[in-house]
Amino acid sequence: MELFVQMFYRVSEYSEGFCDVLGDMFMECVSHGNNGQFFTPIHVADLMACMGGNRLKPKQSVCDSCCGSGRMLLSAVKKCAEENDGGRLFCYGSDIDLICVKMTVVNLMMNSVPGEVAWMNTLTMQHWRSYHIDLQLIAGVWLPILKITEAGDTSFIRKLENAMEDNSELKRSIQSNARATQLTFDF
Going 28 to 31 to 34 to 38, the CA torsion angle's sign is negative
pLDDT confidence tier of residue 187, bands split at 50, 70 and 90: very low
**Beta strand pairing call for 115-121 and 126-138:** antiparallel
pLDDT confidence tier of residue 93, bands split at 50, 70 and 90: very high
Q: What is the DSSP string of 68-131?
A: TTTHHHHHHHHHHHHHTTT---EEEEEES-HHHHHHHHHHHHHTT--EEEEEEETTTTEEEEEE
DSSP tag of 35: G
Mapped onto helix, strand or coil, the DSSP state of residue 132 is strand
Q: What is the pLDDT of residues 8-67, one digit of tens each?
A: 566 555 555 677 777 777 776 776 656 667 788 888 988 988 887 677 888 888 889 899
2-177, what's its fold? Rossmann fold (3.40.50)
Question: For residue 178, what pLDDT is reported?
Answer: 61
Structural domain boundaries in the chain: 2-177
